[in-house]
Amino acid sequence: MTAPVPEGGDSLSIRQAQRADLLAVVRIENASFSQPWPHNAFETFLGEPGFLVAIDNRSIVGYVVSDVTPNYGRNLGHVKDIAVHPDYREAGIGSALLTRALSVLSAYDADSIKLEVRPSNNDARRLYRSFGFDPLRRVPDYYDNDEDAIVMIYDLE
């Protein structure tokens, strides 16, 4: 399932992640986060429709991990991880991945979509705000370094 997306430029495509993508995904993860997910965390999400990779010129340049789980009679979408290779940022790839993830989660009947973001991560917070995510609450000491998380929510109802 590879379809061109207008947001990220002509050569960008987005498709569901495959096992062969994982090394490149982990490399981007390691370059992006101080507490990166390990390889086996990504492996768990293989086959998940909301685990998507962005490909530019045959290289993996970004990914998003998202899913939908039932929660007290509602379907809660969750964007669990998103990153773009440092050399490819600010070219619309993060937006293209998020756009596609939101449409997958919506197709899988998510009623709302949540995500957690560090208060210090201004780039990500700006991106989520521009998509209509609203800050819901703060979770103290959510990250391993004692940093709080801001939970942001996007309502599809």
Ligand X SMILES: CC(C)(COP(=O)(O)OP(=O)(O)OC[C@H]1O[C@@H](n2cnc3c(N)ncnc32)[C@H](O)[C@@H]1OP(=O)(O)O)[C@@H](O)C(=O)NCCC(=O)NCCS
Q: Which residues bind ligand X (CB under 6 A)?
A: 32, 82-84, 89-95, 117, 121, 123-124, 126-127, 130
Nearer to ligand X among residue 109 and residue 122 (C-beta): 122
- For 100, the enclosing helix (H) or strand (E) is helix 93-107
- C-beta of 149: minimal distance to ligand X in Å? 9
Q: Could you tell me if residue 101 is left (phi over 0), alpha (psi between -120 and 50 degrees) or otherwise beta?
A: alpha
- C-beta of 89: minimal distance to ligand X in Å? 3
Nearer to ligand X among residue 77 and residue 94 (C-beta): 94
- C-beta of 79: minimal distance to ligand X in Å? 8
A 10 A CB-CB count for 59 gives 10
Taking the C-alpha atoms of residue 9 and residue 73, their distance in angstroms, rounded to an integer, is 39
- C-beta of 73: minimal distance to ligand X in Å? 28
Taking the C-alpha atoms of residue 2 and residue 22, their distance in angstroms, rounded to an integer, is 17
Pairing assessment for the beta strands 74-84 and 112-117 based on DSSP bridges: parallel
Nearer to ligand X among residue 54 and residue 68 (C-beta): 54
Tell me which residue has its CB nearest to ligand X: 94
